[in-house]
């Protein structure tokens, strides 16, 4: 069984675009039991893929009213998918697909949090404080290579209130896309395990989106999890966007995170339908190729199971009410 930390299928369906990676029937046949299905309010796409080195500015903020309207449409799109909504760890079962309702960026939440409980009643169980743009709660990390995540100010007062409210309700707080100052703010005030649903090791790929060793140590210390992102430009040492990237690059990050944090803190966070992933993976039906590669690399059955699903189930069980 595989549980995954991030996909953008909902955005593809909302736009009326075909999926590149998230064929649900192929996933079900490959043991995919679900995971975090992002509700992402998009910014305008870049005019072109930047050449390395690059340093892209933060995207413009999305006004709350616009973000709330689009997020509601995205939620309806998710509800039309042939999946169940996950609100407890028992909702993940072999043969079924369960979707965690995840806001990728809290732009769609009122700055006074007056609609957070209503979202919770609709099934919201995970919130990424930001995508890579500012909002009322924090500032995202801009895309840069090579680059550091230490790029700007931390959480606003509203952001600190959001973390506290999520802790109270039992909503997971996702640190992917958050800059380093914001990360440390969350680490100081959150009572839940620290989680980055789709990020990698900065020591192996110096993308601003990846986590430094200090951040990884904090995740470990909190009992949290990092979901390894399959985006090739966050995997490769050269930061290049090359589809012909071997599965070994995913294993390289799993190895590093396991050595740094311990196997109990490593999971999958594919970024399917939101990134260029290795051709050798292909899509959600390619998870067995990755778990087989882990086994061939010497990971025992228990360790593979932890990375594939066990660590997500543990952290969700410790976070959700």
- CATH code of the domain containing 128: 3.20.20.140
Q: Which domain holds residue 311?
A: 2-319
Structure tokens given for 170: 């039992």
Average pLDDT over residues 108-137: 98
290 Cβ contact list (under 8 Å, min separation 6): 247, 250, 251, 268, 281
DSSP codes of every residue in 198-227: T--BTTTS--TTSBPHHHHHHHHHHT-EEE
Residue 48 pLDDT > 90:
no
Reported as a single tens digit per residue, the pLDDT across 217-273 is 999 999 999 999 999 999 999 999 999 999 999 999 999 999 999 999 999 999 999
| Total domains in the fold of the chain | 1
Residue 45 pLDDT > 90:
no
Between β-strands 98-104 and 84-85, what pairing exists: parallel, antiparallel or unpaired?
A: parallel
Give the model's pLDDT for residue 44.
87
The model carries a pTM of: 0.98
Categorize the per-residue pLDDT at 15 as very low, low, confident or very high, splitting at 50, 70 and 90.
very high
Reported as a single tens digit per residue, the pLDDT across 78-94 is 999 999 999 999 999 99
Fill in the DSSP letter of residue 272.
Answer: B
Give the model's pLDDT for residue 49.
75
What is the number of H-type helices and E-type strands within the chain? Answer: 12, 11
Give the model's pLDDT for residue 167.
98
Whether the CB-CB separation of 142 and 58 falls below 8 Å is answered with yes
Handedness of CA 129, 131, 132, 134 (dihedral sign): negative
Distance CA(40)–CA(177), nearest Å, equals: 12
Give the model's pLDDT for residue 219.
99
Structure tokens given for 118: 């209503």
Q: How high is the mean pLDDT of the chain?
A: 97
86 Cβ contact list (under 8 Å, min separation 6): 34, 92, 98, 99, 100, 125
Distance CA(163)–CA(192), nearest Å, equals: 10
Q: Which of 128, 155, 19 is nearest to 71 (CA)?
A: 128
Give the model's pLDDT for residue 249.
98
- The SS3 assignment for 104 reads strand
Residue 106 pLDDT > 80:
yes
Give the model's pLDDT for residue 162.
99
Whether the CB-CB separation of 42 and 67 falls below 8 Å is answered with no
Distance CA(201)–CA(244), nearest Å, equals: 20
């Amino acid at each position: 069984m595989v549980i995954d930390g991030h996909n953008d299928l909902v955005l593809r369906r909302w736009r009326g675009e075909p999926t590149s990676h998230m064929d649900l029937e192929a996933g079900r046949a490959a043991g995919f039991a679900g995971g975090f299905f992002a509700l992402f309010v998009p910014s305008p796409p870049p005019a072109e893929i930047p050449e390395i080195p690059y340093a892209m500015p933060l995207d413009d903020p999305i006004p709350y009213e616009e973000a709330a309207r689009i997020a509601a449409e995205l939620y309806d799109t998710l509800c039309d998918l042939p999946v169940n909504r996950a609100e407890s760890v028992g909702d993940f079962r072999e043969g079924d697909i369960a979707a965690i309702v995840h806001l990728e960026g809290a732009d769609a939440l009122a700055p006074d949090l007056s609609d957070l409980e209503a979202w919770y009643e609709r099934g919201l169980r995970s919130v990424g404080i930001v995508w890579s743009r500012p909002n009322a709660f924090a500032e995202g990390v801009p895309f840069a290579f090579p680059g550091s995540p230490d790029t700007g100010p931390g959480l606003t007062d509203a952001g600190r209130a959001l973390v506290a409210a999520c802790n109270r309700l039992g909503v997971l707080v996702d640190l992917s896309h958050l800059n380093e100052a914001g990360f440390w703010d969350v680490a100081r005030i959150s009572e839940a395990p620290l989680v980055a649903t789709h990020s990698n090791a900065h020591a192996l790929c110096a993308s601003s989106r990846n986590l430094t060793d200090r951040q990884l140590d904090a995740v470990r210390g909190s009992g949290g999890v990092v979901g390894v992102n399959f985006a090739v430009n966050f995997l490769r040492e050269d930061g290049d966007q090359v589809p012909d990237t071997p599965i070994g690059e995913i294993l390289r990050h799993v190895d590093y995170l396991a050595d740094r944090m311990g196997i109990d803190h490593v999971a999958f966070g594919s970024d399917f339908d939101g990134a260029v992933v290795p051709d050798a993976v292909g899509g959600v039906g390619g998870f067995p190729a990755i778990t087989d590669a882990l086994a061939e690399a010497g990971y025992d059955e228990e360790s593979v199971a932890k990375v594939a699903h066990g660590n997500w189930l543990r952290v969700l069980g410790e976070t959700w009410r």
